Structure 1
Amino acid sequence: MNREYIDILVNGANDLGIELNMFHVEQFLKYSDLLLEWNEKMNLTAITEEREIIIKHFLDSLTALKCKVIKGSERIIDVGAGAGFPSVPLKILYPSLKLTIVDSLKKRTVFLDELVSYLNLKDVEIIHGRAEDLGKDSGLREKYDISLSRAVAQLNVLVEYCIPFTKVDGYLIAYKGSNTDEEIAASQNALNVLRCQVENVLDVTLPYTDIHHKLVLIKKLDATDSKYPRKPKLIEKSPL
């Protein structure tokens, strides 16, 4: 990665109120290199330009810090992480985070295993499976301070995937696009049933772009009824 791209990464993070040191920069460079190398063998991301990876993956992932609930030592689960976004950039920034990454596609978890090893990240667990099944696992259920999800599902479906993993008084941070208000309105029943509420909605503009999206911060108020999450086909057929 050339100097221009390093400046984009460092200055873009600075625009978000985040200071990166050389260790962080080196980790992001290695991440980009490995992602591009593996992407030639399998489709991990449609974004294949280094500049775009920095802005639309790395910096976008770090916008979660605007929610002010990630301090650096939380236990976090990333549901449907794909090639590691948003959780791995957050782990690079805060090595003390305890991270679990869930994805339903085996090829992606194979990449993530390699990535975690390559970056020498500690306290990271990669799980191949569906959130709907794993949310019933007593070792994962209501164990996380924060759940994260980026570009996975409509909000009324997403809360059923993520809230079962989240501790009472913990948070779900959902990355959402232009239809956020409509999604929130359509999620009121799901929020009530799953005993959580929208605490904040933050506007995000990606550095160097005119791309706007929102972060929906949802707080879990009480324990999740044992019947949730439901079976995958039922969630799909009859969302809350």
Structure 2
Amino acid sequence: MKYEQFLEELNKLPVDVTEEKLSKLNKYFETLVEYNEKVNLTTITSQEDVLLKHFYDSLTPTKIYDFNQVKSLIDVGTGAGFPGVVLKIFFPNIKLTLLDSNNKKIKFLEHLTKILNLKNVEFKCERSEEYAKTNFEKYDLVIARAVKSLDILFELCLPLVTKNGYFISMKGNLDQELDENIKVIEYFGCCLKEKLNFTLPDGSNRSLILVLKNNDAKVILPREYSQIVKKPLKNRVK
């Protein structure tokens, strides 16, 4: 994606685009590429690809949720900060938690947020199933951009969502996978509020799902990760 097209597509989203924010994105890109030479953060490093697959993609959840009303946001499995840091740049009032089990990536994020002068950001180097044990129902919005199956994502992320809070999953097309996991959503005291299928400007398929926690969960904490993988809830919950 050329920079001009990036700006054009950005202006179609419900975000406030300013020179300061664009400058921070540019600094983000420079820092990412430089740091990536010594630590493997991402295989996507060309400016055109970063603009599309990292920066623009990170802002697509604004299509289904008003981030101006978010107080506390946790990005689960944040990696190099996508989508959490990009959302923080455009919605600076959010209290952001970046969660990842890779300490090298957390160190990068600490370095990055200092360079970008982002305030009210905390960093947690921990496995999400362990983090949930001491942070149950803490966040009004939980977000994950991941390749894991939905039932795994739900078990890792939904315990972190506060009552009347939301979870957003960012994946490729997931219609069939979502149908198989509706009961899992309900098992965690949640309901599906919205699903949006769309294509990125390069034609790639994307899906966003918005889940509301509107009830008490039948379980409180996620299981050990080995059990989550070996015994998927979608095969156990009826």
**TM-based fold match above 0.5:** yes
Letter of the structure 1 residue corresponding to residue 99 of structure 2: V
- 1:169 and 1:221 in contact (8 A); partners too: yes
The runs of 4+ residues in structure 1 deviating greater than 3 Å are: 223-227
What is the match of residue 174 of structure 1? 169
The alignment status of 1:216 with 2:209, answered yes or no, reads yes
2:224 to 227, 231, 238: 231
- 1:72 and 1:95 in contact (8 A); partners too: no
What runs of 5+ residues in structure 2 fail to find an aligned partner?
A: 234-238
SS of structure 2 residue aligned to 1:38: helix
Quote how far apart the aligned CAs of 1:228 are. 2.0
The alignment status of 1:157 with 2:152, answered yes or no, reads yes
The alignment status of 1:95 with 2:89, answered yes or no, reads no
Aligned residues: 233
- 2:196 and 2:207 in contact (8 A); partners too: yes
The alignment status of 1:142 with 2:132, answered yes or no, reads no
SS of structure 1 residue aligned to 2:192: strand
2:178 to 159, 164, 184: 184
Letter of the structure 1 residue corresponding to residue 222 of structure 2: P
Quote how far apart the aligned CAs of 1:236 are. 1.3
What is the match of residue 68 of structure 1? 65
Quote how far apart the aligned CAs of 1:12 are. 2.1
What is the match of residue 205 of structure 1? 199
Letter of the structure 1 residue corresponding to residue 75 of structure 2: D
SS of structure 2 residue aligned to 1:71: helix
For 1:204 and 1:32, the matched residues in 2 are separated by: 25
1:195 to 189, 193, 196: 189
What runs of 5+ residues in structure 1 fail to find an aligned partner?
A: none
RMSD (Å) for aligned C-alpha atoms: 1.6
- 1:13 and 1:19 in contact (8 A); partners too: no
Letter of the structure 2 residue corresponding to residue 230 of structure 1: R
- Farther off after superposition, 166-175 or 152-161: 152-161
Quote how far apart the aligned CAs of 1:152 are. 4.1
Letter of the structure 2 residue corresponding to residue 69 of structure 1: D
For 2:182 and 2:108, the matched residues in 1 are separated by: 36
Quote how far apart the aligned CAs of 1:227 are. 4.3
Quote how far apart the aligned CAs of 1:162 are. 0.7
Letter of the structure 2 residue corresponding to residue 200 of structure 1: E
TM-score by length of 2: 0.92
- 1:72 and 1:96 in contact (8 A); partners too: no
For 1:8 and 1:114, the matched residues in 2 are separated by: 29
